[in-house]
């Protein structure tokens, strides 16, 4: 049966806030969790990912989990360790104990951040490109993907790991023209990841059908995902303001962009 009740971790964050609006029309009943309280959501669970009792309670009776919570930028290793590595382990353990069948894990393009961006006729970056994390943050997402594979092989917990590009209301940089995932396409991809059958442990790149796309969306499409958006209408203005990506500029050379050179730091 298709999942109905879904735990959304990281529900107070940027994507969580967007998905709280966009997912219920697909028929999901969302249970919300974040370390921060969520205005206007008195039933949301306010808990840190280190609180295993709270997670045990939060997963009780859910059909699936969308795991977005965590540090979403670069941070000192100790912080990444607690929130993204131990935190994701705690989510998987709670899911295993409660018999939750499927987790959709918010991985990131920064797992392969040091992959050179395709230029000209270069092929799109394939799913099996070697991992080349660009930050401790990217390393933590690579860990999450491996943890997911282990929980599938060993415990039968299914995962769709989505290497998200940039999911924001609009693309704001020239790099984002290639990796943007519109919020509406983000919801389409999450829905596909929740409902596709026999996913086992699957990894996909997550973005819209961008004209300037850098990676292969075929494994996402195999889930039934049909992106409808393209960042191209934003291109002329962003390029006029920021210029084209330059060959030889280290900040423009790799998929991970500035994460490879001067990563944005988690503020808390
Ligand atoms: P965000 O930083 O806006 O939201 C993350 C949420 O997780 C925050 O509300 C925060 O309070 C919560 N959180 C952090 N540590 C926690 C902990 N220890 N316990 C409980 N809650 C905790 O990030 P955003 O942009 O919404 O991203 C969501 C997820 O998707 C993240 O895992 C991020 O790494 C991943 N992702 C997002 C991309 C994007 O374009 N938005 C791109 C690639 C990956
Ligand atoms: C990410 O993984 C971050 O969570 C998000 O905030 C963006 O910076 C995105 O990657 C990106 O690469 O643009």
pLDDT over 90 at 100, yes or no = yes
Domain-located, residue 239: yes
Domain-located, residue 265: no
Domain-located, residue 135: yes
Domain-located, residue 211: yes
pLDDT over 80 at 268, yes or no = yes
Please tell me the distance from the alpha carbon of residue 1 to that of residue 71, in angstroms, as a whole number: 32
Average pLDDT, integer, range 83-99: 98
**Which is higher by pLDDT, 145 or 3?**
145
pLDDT of residue 2: 79
Please tell me the distance from the alpha carbon of residue 181 to that of residue 183, in angstroms, as a whole number: 6
- Contact of 113 with 255, CB cutoff 8 Å: yes
Which letter, b or e, does each residue of 175-196 get, where b requires 16 or more Cβ atoms within 10 Å of its Cβ?
bbbbbbbbbebbbbbbbbbbbb
Domain-located, residue 188: yes
Q: In which band, very low, low, confident or very high, does the pLDDT at 257 lie, cut at 50, 70 and 90?
A: very high
Ligand number with the minimum distance to the CA of 206: 1
Domain-located, residue 229: yes
pLDDT of residue 76: 98
Range of the domain at 91: 5-260
Strand-pair partners of 254: 116
CA atoms within 13 A on the CB side of 104: 29
Domain-located, residue 268: no
Question: What ipTM, to 2 d.p.?
Answer: 0.99
pLDDT over 90 at 21, yes or no = yes
Give the binding-site residues of ligand 1, using a 6 Å CB cut-off.
10, 12-16, 34-36, 48-49, 68-72, 83, 87, 106, 108, 164, 166-167
Domain-located, residue 266: no
**C-alpha 56: how far from chain center:** 23
Q: In which band, very low, low, confident or very high, does the pLDDT at 99 lie, cut at 50, 70 and 90?
A: very high
pLDDT over 90 at 1, yes or no = no
Give me the active site residues, please: 137
* Ligand 2 pocket test target in 108, 161, 174, 208 with most atoms within 8 Å of CB: 108
pLDDT over 80 at 246, yes or no = yes
Q: What percent of the chain has pLDDT over 70?
A: 100
Query: What is the chain's mean pLDDT, rounded?
Result: 97
Which ligand 2 atom is at minimum distance from the Cα of 259?
Answer: 12
Whole-prediction pTM:
0.98
Nearest CA to ligand 2 atom 7: 166
pLDDT over 90 at 172, yes or no = yes
How many domains would you assign to the chain?
1
Q: In which band, very low, low, confident or very high, does the pLDDT at 70 lie, cut at 50, 70 and 90?
A: very high
For residue range 59-69, what is the model confidence (pLDDT) as tens digits?
Answer: 999 999 999 99
Average pLDDT, integer, range 194-221: 98
Task: Output the domain CATH number for residue 141.
Answer: 3.40.50.720
Average pLDDT, integer, range 30-43: 96
């Amino acid at each position: 049966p298709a999942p109905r009740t879904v735990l959304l971790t990281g529900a107070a964050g940027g994507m969580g806030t967007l998905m709280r609006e966009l997912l219920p029309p697909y028929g999901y009943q969302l249970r919300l969790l974040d370390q921060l309280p969520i205005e206007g959501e008195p039933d949301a669970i306010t808990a840190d990912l280190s609180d295993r009792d709270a997670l045990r309670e939060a997963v009780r009776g859910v059909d699936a989990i969308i795991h977005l919570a965590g540090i979403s930028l670069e941070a000192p290793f100790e912080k990444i360790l607690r929130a993204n590595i131990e935190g994701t382990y705690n989510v998987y353990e709670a899911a295993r104990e409660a018999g939750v069948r499927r987790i959709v894990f918010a991985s990131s393009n920064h797992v392969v951040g040091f992959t050179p961006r395709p230029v000209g006729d270069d092929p799109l970056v394939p799913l099996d490109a070697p991992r080349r994390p660009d930050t401790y943050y990217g390393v933590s997402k690579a860990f999450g993907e491996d943890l997911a594979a282990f929980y599938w092989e060993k415990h039968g917990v299914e995962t769709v790991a989505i290497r998200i590009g940039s999911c924001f209301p609009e693309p704001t940089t020239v790099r984002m023209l290639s990796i943007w995932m519109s919020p509406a396409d983000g919801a389409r991809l999450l829905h596909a990841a929740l409902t596709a059958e026999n996913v086992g442990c699957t990894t996909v790149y997550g973005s819209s059908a961008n004209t300037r796309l850098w990676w292969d969306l075929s494994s996402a499409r195999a889930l039934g995902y049909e992106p409808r958006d393209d960042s191209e209408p934003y291109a002329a203005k962003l390029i006029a303001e920021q210029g084209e990506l330059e060959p030889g500029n280290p900040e423009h050379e790799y998929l991970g962009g500035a994460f490879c050179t001067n990563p944005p730091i988690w503020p808390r």
